[in-house]
Amino acid sequence: MTNRLDGRKDKMSDEQQYPGPEEQGPESQEHPGLTPKMDLRPDHGEDSYEGHGKLTGRRALITGGDSGIGRAVALAYAREGADVAVSYLESEETDGRETCALVEKAGRKALALPGDIRDEQHCNELVERTVAELGGLDILVNNAAYQMSQSSIADITTEQFDRVMKTNVYAMFWLCKAALPHLSEGATIINTTSIQAYQPSPELLDYATTKAAILNFTRGLAQELAPKGIRVNAVAPGPIWTPLIPATMPPEKVDQFGADTPLGRAGQPAELAPAFVFLASSDSSYITGERIGITGGKPLP
């Protein structure tokens, strides 16, 4: 049976469908992390997401679209009828190409855009190429992020702080600014914030800071663009199982990742994609400046 609201097949209960911490193990790999190297592969909705034409004819640009949440969103958007431009680091080429293949398998056009969004010119080029090759831009998803766990503020170098800020905040600002001239009434911007914006972990101090900034940026920009009919919203994930986790956290933390949620496990990217579809579609036409929390039961204010 298909759940009409979220596009996923309700084949079994979540407890049966998704693994708990005991199945994750103490994984570890070098940053940025690649999906094929994960012992436990995330679910992006490959076998479960069913589209209903909610984004037919739309053009989307997704940063961090190579894996994890970004891949799940790209797959869902394609199955809903959108063409998708996928932005990712050159070192993530394998994952990026796999995401593009999923988009094309859904019968939509995929545009691979490798490069580093810490560069303002590259951000401008992402928008320009998307508009030129997809024929326009209707949905901008600022999803790419960098984090690296540190035991103390004393261990956060200026280099790391700068990388976190430029990847998570500067790039979002640059991309929104570049995209605005191409967005018309009915267009949407969706930013990925985090539970870290509300409940910052000390070992992710710099990352949490950027996620709070993203939340306020979303609320402020939404007010500016509302008169133009452009909506701006955010999704706030809790612990989600993606390559970023074993690539940026100590193995002992990875081993218990998500265990402290009321649902007792990490979420899967496939469980977030429906929220991004909702915010991009006309189903959310009266929603702007808001955030949807997907946290496994951890309360958000």
Give Cα 38 to chain centroid, integer Å.
Answer: 18
**In degrees rounded to 5, what are phi and psi of residue 28?**
-160, 140
Distance, CA of 293 to CA of 193 (rounded, Å) = 9
Please give the single-letter amino acid code of residue 235.
V
Per the annotation, the verdict on 207 as an active-site residue is yes
Name the nearest CA neighbour of 87 among 69, 71, 64, 118.
64
C-alpha span between 117 and 121 (Å, rounded) = 8
The catalytic position among 49, 146, 207, 286 is 207
Per the DSSP assignment, residues forming a β-bridge with 33 are: none
- Asked if 33 contacts 67 with a C-beta cutoff of 8 angstroms, the reply is yes
220 backbone dihedrals φ, ψ, rounded to 5°: -70, -45
Q: Alpha-carbon distance 29 to 243, whole Å?
A: 9
d(CA 60, CA 244): 23
> For the chain, what is the total number of helices (H) and then of strands (E)?
10, 7
**102 three-class SS:** helix
DSSP per-residue letters across 49-92: B---STTTT-EEEEETTTSHHHHHHHHHHHHTT-EEEEEE-GGG
Rounded distance between C-alpha atoms, residue 15 and residue 13, angstroms: 5
Q: Which residues are catalytic?
A: 207
